[in-house]
């Protein structure tokens, strides 16, 4: 009796040695050099599983090709967001999508706090000007800086990361926390006050931090009209997804002094081109989409392979993606 063929697992992106070894123990592993729509459309025709990272384009066309071939059983996204996968189409084709929703909660929350401090305490500017020979001028006069304990934090999206940020800033810095979420939020591990709309949060918060998935509802939610609702001199932090914020509108708000600063880790597109409006806007601290990139975060994201292997062996997925998020 012939041995049953080993499953073919296509990987678009880098994985750790440990994750790769686990996949190789489960099947034949093929790494792709590209993760674009055309490459993936061909690859999924002969794949039982597909593992991707942030920039792979698992579009409706890719899912259609997989459905036509009738072989692909599972797509694993090493990360939290599944906006680069047409999850609805996959669900309709009977393909399971799994991800790692809790993998980088602490890493993203840590960077969010760091960006708030960097923007408000002008850490990056101070470092640069000190190296340029300024010292006394930076210490002159009364600083336009308020301690976090006297400020209100506004959280948009009180999921895992929003809660982690709120916990750090309320329990650690004694900030008052308000929030808005489209879902009903239960008990929180810190004191926080819900608001009926995002606009209410914008109008009241000294710092607004975004922790939402990229969906049709959140794409471009921070636009010119939304920014007009912000409290004068507020700070915006975005460690979610670049397209959630309209970059030109934010740059104009910073240039006009409507906002006193912004901390931005994600862009649209990525990497940002040299003429991206936020690169020249004042009072911004920019980081290259590194919020999730801690040692622990990357390790946990790579663990998506365990769920992929589980689905291939007939087990129920531990972390299936919500079809409404794709």
Indicate if 95 and 114 belong to the same structural domain.
no
289 catalytic residue (yes or no): yes
Alpha-carbon Rg for the chain, nearest whole angstrom, is 22
Q: Are residues 227 and 132 in the same domain?
A: yes
Sheet holding 152-156, edge to edge: 193-194, 176-180, 152-156, 207-210, 234-238, 259-264, 284-286
List, for the chain, all residue ranges whose pLDDT scores fall below the cut of 50.
1
- Which of 37, 88, 270, 293 is flagged as catalytic? 270
pLDDT at 142: 77
Question: Same domain, yes or no, for 92 and 237?
Answer: no
Both 314 and 173 in a single domain? no
129/274 same-domain check = yes
Residues 53 and 161 in one domain: no
The tokens of 260 are what?
A: 């006193």
Q: Is 138 among the domain residues?
A: yes
Please tell me the predicted confidence (pLDDT) of residue 291. 97
Q: What confidence score (pLDDT) does residue 11 get?
A: 98
Which residues span the domain enclosing 130?
105-286
pTM of the model: 0.93
| Phi/psi-derived region of residue 289, left when phi > 0, alpha when psi is between -120 and 50, beta in every other case | left
199 within some domain: yes
Q: Are residues 115 and 218 in the same domain?
A: yes
Among this protein's residues, is 270 annotated catalytic?
Answer: yes
- Exactly one of 53, 163, 241, 258 is catalytic; name it: 241
pLDDT for 4 equals: 79
Instruction: Give Cα separations from 69 to 42, 43, 132, 136 (angstroms).
Output: 10, 11, 62, 69
Number of domains in the chain: 2
Whether residues 275 and 224 share a domain: the answer is yes
186 and 109 in a single domain? The answer is yes
Lateral strand order in the sheet of 8-12: 28-32, 8-12, 49-52, 74-77, 96-98
Q: List, for residues 32-50, the tens digit of each pLDDT value.
A: 999 999 999 999 999 999 9
Residue 88 lies in a domain: yes
Q: Look up the CATH number of the domain holding residue 276.
A: 3.40.50.720
Evaluate whether residue 2 is within a structural domain: no
Spatial contact of 10 and 32, defined as CB atoms under 8 Å apart: yes
Asked if 120 and 269 sit in the same domain, the reply is yes
Note the pLDDT tens digit of each residue in 188-204. 999 999 999 999 999 99
**Do 300 and 279 belong to one domain?**
no
Euclidean distance between CA atoms 275 and 271, whole angstroms: 11
Q: Are 277 and 300 in a shared domain?
A: no
**Residue 291 within a domain:** no
In a domain, 239, yes or no: yes
Residue 83 lies in a domain: yes
Residue 13 within a domain: yes
Residue tagged active-site, from 71, 121, 219, 289: 289
């Amino acid at each position: 009796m012939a041995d049953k063929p080993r499953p073919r697992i296509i990987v678009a992106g880098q994985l750790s040695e440990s994750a790769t070894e686990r996949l190789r123990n489960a099947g034949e592993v093929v790494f792709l050099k590209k993760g674009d729509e055309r490459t993936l459309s061909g690859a999924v025709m002969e794949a039982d599983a597909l593992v991707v990272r942030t920039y792979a384009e698992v579009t409706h066309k890719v899912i259609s090709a997989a459905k036509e071939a009738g072989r692909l059983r599972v797509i694993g996204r090493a990360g939290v967001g599944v906006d680069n996968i047409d999850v609805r189409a996959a669900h309709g084709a009977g393909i399971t999508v799994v991800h790692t929703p809790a993998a980088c909660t602490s890493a993203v929350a840590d960077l969010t706090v760091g960006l708030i401090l960097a923007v408000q305490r002008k850490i990056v500017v101070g470092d640069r000007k000190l190296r340029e020979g300024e010292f006394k001028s930076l210490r002159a006069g009364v600083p336009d800086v308020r301690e976090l304990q006297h400020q209100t934090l506004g959280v948009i999206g009180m999921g895992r990361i929003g809660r982690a940020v709120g916990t750090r800033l309320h329990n650690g810095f004694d900030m008052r926390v308000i929030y808005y979420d489209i879902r009903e939020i239960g008990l929180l591990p810190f004191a926080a006050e819900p608001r009926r709309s995002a606009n209410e949060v914008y109008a009241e918060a000294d710092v607004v931090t975004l922790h939402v998935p990229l969906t049709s509802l959140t794409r471009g939610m921070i636009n010119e009209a939304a920014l007009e609702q912000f409290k004068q001199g507020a700070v915006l932090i975005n460690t979610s997804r670049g397209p959630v914020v309209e970059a030109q509108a934010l740059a104009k708000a910073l240039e006009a002094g409507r906002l006193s600063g912004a901390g931005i880790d994600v862009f649209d597109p990525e990497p940002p081109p040299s003429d991206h409006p936020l690169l020249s806007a004042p009072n911004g601290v920019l980081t290259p989409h590194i919020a999730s990139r801690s040692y622990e975060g990357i390790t946990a994201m790579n663990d998506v392979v365990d769920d992929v292997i589980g689905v291939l062996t007939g087990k129920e997925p531990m972390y299936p993606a919500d079809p409404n998020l794709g």
